[in-house]
């Protein structure tokens, strides 16, 4: 990456450490970030099993002063559309004012003896900005167990644009720590925008 700040160098090093097409991923992230200074970042490489294939993908989250940037790269095996394996990289840039929710779910072992500052066993970071929502509906009912009237439906809508699970066992404690730091930075940035 062209910029020389410590945060930018740290991001580049994290992308290279992931070992997942670092030149391709770094170029996509650099193009999306442009000339903005980076406030915080998270690089998460994940391996999944799809039938008989092992598939890898990497997600890079970047926070600048004005935007939240998501870059995702997947690899694909050769198929009827391509005789050779290929990768698909996409980036999305979201203005901070559009971020509607930042949810951090923490899983801790032995909660009865939890000490503040102890690293969670895993976290799930869910970020919503209105591009994708999940709608859960169920039939509505009244308090009368003998009522046969149609009361319509009740439900909830949940922003679910991005959900990322990071665990100490699978990703290591440093990645969990980095995910918590990124989540806190993003929460603070969206709070600053709201003021």
Q: Are 162 and 70 in contact (CB under 8 A)?
A: yes
The band of 4, judged by pLDDT with boundaries at 50, 70 and 90, is: very low
Gap between the Cα atoms of 78 and 173, Å rounded: 35
Summary mean pLDDT of the chain: 88
- Among 3-17, 31-45, 128-142, where is mean pLDDT lowest? 128-142
> Taking each helix axis from N to C terminus, what angle separates 22-33 and 6-18, rounded to the nearest 10 degrees?
150
The band of 2, judged by pLDDT with boundaries at 50, 70 and 90, is: very low
Gap between the Cα atoms of 195 and 193, Å rounded: 6
- Residue 159: pLDDT over 60: no
pLDDT of amino acid 1: 38
Structure tokens at 35: 């000339």
């Amino acid at each position: 990456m062209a910029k020389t700040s410590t945060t930018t160098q740290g991001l580049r090093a994290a992308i290279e450490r992931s070992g997942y097409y670092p030149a391709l991923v770094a170029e996509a992230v650099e193009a999306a970030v442009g000339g903005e200074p980076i406030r915080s970042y998270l690089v998460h490489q994940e391996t999944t099993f799809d039938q008989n294939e092992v598939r890898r993908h990497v997600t890079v989250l970047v926070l600048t002063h004005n935007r939240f940037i998501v870059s995702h790269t997947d690899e694909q095996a050769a198929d009827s559309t391509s005789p050779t394996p290929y990768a698909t990289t996409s980036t999305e840039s979201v203005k901070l004012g559009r971020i509607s929710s930042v949810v951090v779910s923490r899983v801790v072992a032995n909660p009865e003896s939890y000490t503040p500052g102890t690293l969670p066993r895993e976290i799930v970071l869910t970020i919503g900005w209105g591009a994708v929502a999940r709608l859960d509906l169920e039939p509505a009912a009244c308090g009368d167990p003998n009522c046969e009237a149609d009361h319509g439906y009740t439900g909830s809508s949940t922003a679910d644009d991005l959900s990322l699970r990071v665990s100490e066992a699978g990703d290591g404690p440093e990645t969990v720590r980095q995910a918590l730091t990124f989540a806190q930075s993003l929460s603070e940035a969206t709070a600053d925008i709201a003021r």
